[in-house]
Structure 1
Amino acid sequence: MRKFLIAMAAVSALTAPAMAQTATATTTQAFVTAKPTDVLSTNLVGLNVTNDAKEEIGEIKDLVISDGTLAGYIVSVGGFLGMGERYVVVAPSSVKINYSESDKKWSATMAATKDELKAAPEFKYEGRWAK
């Protein structure tokens, strides 16, 4: 019995330091300041896209973020009251976003026609992108 108690004491002595160690979480938090020239997603989603002829060619419905960077705008094309609508992804560099200080309004323009957008590859909200 004495050997058993000594063995138990030894096991307890060896495991106690290991149990006393706690994992220390190291977190790095980065905070940024929004600049007056930055655009918020709430200013973009729902924004009508017009072309150079001032024709409405679509509406920004969503943003594509890839590795923390804006990779595209999902634009709805065609349809009426949500029926027959299809989506395409356009490069951010192809859409010019502006804010008019005098009108207090955002605008989006793109050098494309409705037909060009309708002919673009379709994006579908399915799989991991299902709503």
Structure 2
Amino acid sequence: MMKSIVAGLAGTALLATAAFAQAPTATTDKAAPAATATTTSASDQWRVSKMSGVKVYNEANENIGSINDLLMDKSGNVKMAVIGVGGFLGMGEHLVAVPYEKLKFVNEPVAYTGTAATNPPGRPASTTTTGAATGTDKTATTTTSASKWYPDHAVFNASKDELKNMPEFKYSE
């Protein structure tokens, strides 16, 4: 038994010596050059994932719903916005699809005037800013919008009742 162990160790030592003695072969594989540190800026673009939930107002600054989804064609162009109208916590909500180009996106908050009881939480009673009636196009941005990657709200020229009377949008399976 001892002879077998010694023979095994000797054989292993001979094989290891032969492996170390071989010169390395030249290969064409070289390490990839170090990646240059580049950053891209998309300050004039909005994240689609952040568009869901953006409030939609009409020209009279009345909240008429919120964006639930964006539908695009096979080339990646957004064609329709699915807006949820009515309902409470998603229950009883009426979904309608409107042409995306009919929406105007605004970066500034909606103008609120009146008492603090009618203003949303965190907004002072005397707040007066530009709102839906002074809508801008989809490509306009401000530092406020760029920092949060989505517009403050959208404007669609219809009343809540007009949207509720539009044909309901359903996702086909």
Scaled by the length of structure 2, the TM-score of the pair is: 0.50
More strand by share: 1
Equivalent residue letter for 1:96: K
Q: Is the aligned partner of 1:111 residue 2:118?
A: no
**Does the CA contact (< 8 Å) of 1:43 and 1:106 recur in 2?**
no
Measure, in 2, the Cα distance between the counterparts of 1:36 and 1:98: 15
Q: Which runs of 5+ in 2 are unaligned?
A: 1-39, 109-141, 146-150
Q: 1:1-131 alignment to 2 at 5 Å?
A: 35-67=42-74, 68-100=76-108, 101=142, 104=145, 106-127=152-173
Q: CA deviation at 1:34?
A: 5.8
Structure with the greater relative contact order (CA < 8 A, sep ≥ 6): 1 or 2?
2
Q: Which runs of 5+ in 1 are unaligned?
A: 1-32
Q: CA deviation at 1:98?
A: 2.3
Call closer, same or farther: CA 1:38–1:81 in 2, change over 3 Å.
Answer: same
Q: CA RMSD in A?
A: 2.0
Can you list the C-alpha shifts for 1:34-75, whole angstroms capped at 9, x where unaligned?
A: 642222112311101011111110110011011221011010
Report how many aligned residue pairs link the two structures: 95
Identity %: 38
Q: CA deviation at 1:89?
A: 0.5
Equivalent residue letter for 1:108: A
Q: SS of the residue aligned with 2:107?
A: strand
Measure, in 1, the Cα distance between the counterparts of 2:156 and 2:51: 14
